[in-house]
Structure 1
Amino acid sequence: MTTIDSYSHDVSGEKEFGFAQAVKVGDTVYISGQLSHDGAGEFIHADDLDGQFQQIWANLQKVLDHYGITRNQIVQDGVFVVNLPENAAAVAAAHLAYFGDHRPTSTTVGVDSLFFPGQLLEINFIANTTLPA
């Protein structure tokens, strides 16, 4: 029997919108779009792409730690970027810096806007717990 284990940051928005930050089903962890919010769930780093990336990586790390996995076990990500033509090089550089030699599958999508004013970035992930860490 497959069990489901969900994880939340316990921040505003999760209960109001009815979602978990991540759900583990079997060996797969599905991670909701991570964005730049602090521990209280307040959006931070408006219009600051680098700051948003750094906070996304920090929020993602909380999810990975909960499941005892590493970034090397991420198999896919989906990157949603406001003004992709202007931000494409910075997005590519940040992705390469974070993942290093590890190469998950990735889809990058340019969007007109995201949920919060000044939000430039949101990234979701899929990880597999049986891969080498």
Structure 2
Amino acid sequence: MKKQRFYSDAVREPAEGLWSNCLRVGDLVMISGMTARGQDGESVLGADEYEQAKVVFQKIKDLVEAAGAVMDDVVKMTIYVTRIANNTAVWEARKEFFTGDFPACTLVEVSSLAKPEILLEIEAIAVAGCSTD
């Protein structure tokens, strides 16, 4: 099995030598923690958890599809939030991107993320083809 890196024009790549946003090994697709940072790397899209979660889930969707999978192939997510009281906003956004059995998920409150205006970060693991009959 070979490790492959996948890209999406819709998701800004980190500087060389830092990390990979999306790697696939066999049918396993791993997505690094995504935030609502804009393409410029500085701006943050969305003023609340719901809006930021929609941005993040769209990034995950773009990367998962670039790697040859679909959102319903996502089997595990870890979600980091800075305000756990607003977690239902994240769940509402999630419903717009998944059908059927939702991924296994861990949600954890953290004291801060990369920038004060970033309210959540989500990483995901998918198994390509697992959602199809």
Aligned to 1:76: 76
Aligned to 1:31: 31
With 32-41 and 66-75 compared, the bigger mean Cα shift is at 32-41
Shift of 1:39: 2.6
1:11 aligns with 2:12: yes
The residue type equivalent to 1:11 in the other structure is: R
Extract unaligned runs of 5+ from structure 1. Answer: none
Shift of 1:58: 2.0
State how far apart, in whole Å, the 1-side matches of 2:95 and 2:46 are.
Answer: 23
Normalised to the residue count of structure 2, the TM-score between the two structures is 0.84
Cα distance per residue 1:36-95 (max 9 Å; x no partner): 1223333323642222112112211220221121111001000101110x2122223222
The residue type equivalent to 1:70 in the other structure is: V
The residue type equivalent to 2:94 in the other structure is: H
State how far apart, in whole Å, the 1-side matches of 2:111 and 2:47 are.
Answer: 14
State how far apart, in whole Å, the 2-side matches of 1:46 and 1:132 are.
Answer: 30
State how far apart, in whole Å, the 1-side matches of 2:43 and 2:25 are.
Answer: 29
Q: Give matches, 1:59-98, under 5 Å.
A: 59-84=59-84, 86-98=85-97
Backbone CA RMSD of aligned residues: 2.1
How many residue pairs align between the two structures? 130
Q: Give matches, 1:54-133, under 5 Å.
A: 54-84=54-84, 86-133=85-132
1:6–1:16 CA distance, 2 compared to 1 (3 A): closer
Normalised to the residue count of structure 1, the TM-score between the two structures is 0.84
Q: Secondary structure at the match of 2:95?
A: helix
Shift of 1:97: 3.5
Moved over 4 A (4+): none
Among all aligned residue pairs of Structure 1 and Structure 2, give the percentage whose two residues are the same amino acid.
25
Cα distance per residue 1:82-117 (max 9 Å; x no partner): 110x21222232223432323211000011111112
The residue type equivalent to 2:21 in the other structure is: Q
Q: Which structure's residues are more often helix, by fraction?
A: 1
CA contact (8 A) 1:8 1:20 kept: no
